[in-house]
Amino acid sequence: MAPGATAQETLFALREQIARLEGKPVPALAAAEQARSAIVPEGQEAKSLHSRLPFGIASMDDALEGGLPLDALTEIRSLLMGDAGAASGFVLSLAAYIKAKDTGEAPLLWISDVFATQEAGIPNACGLRQFGLETRDVLFASPRKLEDALWIAEAAVASGAISATILEIRGNLKHFGLTESRRLSLRTKAAGRPLFILRHAAEEEASSALLRFLAEPAPASERRLLDGSVLGGSIGHPVFRLTLEKSRNPAPLSFLLEWNSRDRQFSLVRQTGEAFSRPKPAAHSGAGIPALADRQDRPPAMGTVLAFERAS
């Protein structure tokens, strides 16, 4: 009886360890941690239990297994440089949401590489304030090289003094591959602080991010008045069209998310017909920029292109 119980114990321990490595919630593990956190009311153990920040939207929280992961890498990409506003808006709304839920004074760090700054612009303090972020709560880093940007991101996450770190880059860079993202993801896991990777004009890429969103702009709904009616022709809160591209949940998810900067709350927007009647946009000058020279290697397209033989 006794050896069997010990073996069982070992098996459970191993299972829990695997679950922990994979970041999956295990009932036994959660129960054990709940028991532990009951004994130790404040501390590291209690923090690790709350490694997910729920959005307060049931369908979204279910899809994300409890909400936004606070101890993992989250990637947000946009298709075109023209979508930079929407993508950075979504990341900043996430950061503002974390900041609103966090009682500490830890600021937010926004690391932006040179190319992204030139194309998408520098941060505007007034706009950030209206968006729900205090000026003094945002630190901007503008390193010259990618290596420096990665170093800052790593140092920021490891220091534990930054509530959320945003690393903004353009495209799929060669020197920011799986190794680097794995390293950053391990750091975030150890520190329990979130790191967002904001990739403009990028393709899908294998990385160690737990989640990857595709952020696109969406029309704002009209302003709501106190009596519940809408003010026609007005511009309401910003809305993002998000596609969850990578998650543990196999079902693809696409939804419209509205950020209320006054209440610092997210809410889902009913998809109207108007949202999808968007015509194909004209080619933006940003889209005409040639692809980066130092991008990740990709397999070439299959087959070869051959000219037809002359008919006559």
Partner 1 sequence: MRLTALDEPAEGLGLKRGQGLAEARAMYPKIDVVEEDEAADLVLLEAIADWCDRYTPLVALDGRDGLFLDISGCAHLFGGEDALLKEVLDRLLQMGFDARGAISSSPGLSWAACRYGPGGVIAEDKTQDVLAPLPVDALRVDETTISSLHKLGLKRVTDLLRLPRAPLARRFGAYLLLRLDQALGANEEAISPRRPVAALSAERRLAEPVEAEEHILHLTGQIAASLTSGLEKRGAGGRIFELVLFRVDGRVFRIRAGASQPLRDPKRIAGLFSERLSAVQDDLDAGYGFELLRLNVLQHEAFKASQNDFTGQHQSTVSLADFVDRVSARLGADCLQVAELRQSHIPERAEVFMPAIAFWTVKQKVDEIFAFLPKTSRPLRLSVIPNPWRPLPQPCRTGLRSVFAGAGLFMKSCVPRARNGFRPNGGLMRRMWKSGIIFAWKAKLAAGFGCSAKAITIAVIQLQPGGFMVSSHERRTKFLRDRCQDQLLLPGGGCKT
Q: Which parts of this chain interact with partner 1 (CB under 8 A)?
A: 42, 80, 82-86, 88-89, 92, 104-107, 117-118, 120-131, 134-136, 138-144, 148, 151-152, 155-156, 159-162, 217-220, 223, 232-235, 237-239, 274-275, 277-279, 281-282, 284-287
Q: What minimum distance in Å lies between the beta carbon of 131 and partner 1?
A: 6
Compare residues 122 and 178 and give the one whose CB is closer to partner 1: 122
In the DSSP assignment, the letter for residue 171 is S
Q: Are strands 68-69 and 73-77 parallel, antiparallel or unpaired?
A: unpaired
Q: Least distance in Å: CB of 124 to partner 1?
A: 5
**Residue (107 or 171) nearer to partner 1, CB:** 107
Least distance in angstroms from the C-beta of 266 to partner 1? 15
The minimum distance between CB 109 and partner 1, in angstroms, equals: 8
Among residues 247, 249, 255, the alpha carbon closest in space to that of 215 is found at 255
d(CA 109, CA 97): 14
* Pairing of the two strands 138-141 and 108-112: parallel
**Residue closer to partner 1 (CB basis): 59 or 159:** 159
Task: State the minimum distance, in angstroms, from the CB of residue 137 to partner 1.
Answer: 9
Rank residues 124 and 249 by Cβ distance to partner 1 and give the closer one.
124
Q: Which of 63/242 has CB closer to partner 1?
A: 242
Two tokens, residue 97:
């949401």
Q: How far apart are CA 260 and CA 248, in angstroms?
A: 28
CA–CA gap between residue 60 and residue 68 (Å, rounded)? 10
Nearer to partner 1 (CB atom), residue 4 or residue 233: 233
Which among 72, 131, 60 is positioned nearest to 96, based on CA atoms? Answer: 131
Residue-by-residue DSSP string for 23-67: T---HHHHHHHHHHHHHSSSSHHHHHHT-EE--S-HHHHHHTTSS
CB 78 → partner 1: shortest distance, Å?
11
